[in-house]
Structure 1
Amino acid sequence: MPGDNSKEWEKYEETIDKFIQIIAKNMNLYGITSSVGRLYGVLYFSDQPMTLDDMRDALEMSKTSMSTGVRALSDMRMVEPTYKKGIRKDLYQSEEDWYKSFTSLFGNRWRKHTESNIEETEETIEELEELYEKTSDEELRNKIQHDMDRLIYAKNYYTWLMKFIRVIESGEIFNYIPKNE
Structure 2
Amino acid sequence: MPNNEESKEWRVYEEVIDKFVQVIAKNMNLYGITPSVGRIYGALYFNEGPMTLDDMRDALEMSKTSMSTGVRSLAEMRMVEPAFKKGERKDLYKSEEDWYKSFTSLFGNRWRHHTETNIEEAEEAINELEQIKNNTTDEWLQEKINLDVDRLRYAQNYYRWLMRFIHVVESGEIFEYVPKYESPKS
Length-normalised TM-score, structure 1: 0.98
Q: CA deviation at 1:2?
A: 2.7
Per-residue CA shift, 1:128-155, capped at 9, x if unaligned? 1111111110000000000000000000
Unaligned 5+ residue runs, structure 2?
A: none
Identity of aligned residues (%): 74
Alpha-carbon separation, structure 2, partners of 1:82 and 1:47 = 13
Matches within 5 A, 1:14-163: 14-163=15-164
Alpha-carbon separation, structure 2, partners of 1:129 and 1:26 = 43
Unaligned 5+ residue runs, structure 1?
A: none
Alpha-carbon separation, structure 2, partners of 1:82 and 1:138 = 66
Which amino acid in 2 is paired with 1:26? N
**Secondary structure of the corresponding residue to residue 128 of structure 1:** helix
Alpha-carbon separation, structure 2, partners of 1:177 and 1:36 = 28
Which amino acid in 1 is paired with 2:106? L
- How many residue pairs get aligned? The number is 181
Per-residue CA shift, 1:28-66, capped at 9, x if unaligned? 000000000000000000001000000000000110000
**Secondary structure of the corresponding residue to residue 159 of structure 2:** helix
Length-normalised TM-score, structure 2: 0.96
Q: Which runs of 4+ in 1 moved over 4 A?
A: none
Alpha-carbon separation, structure 1, partners of 2:169 and 2:61 = 36
Matching residue of 2:7? 6
Which amino acid in 2 is paired with 1:69? G
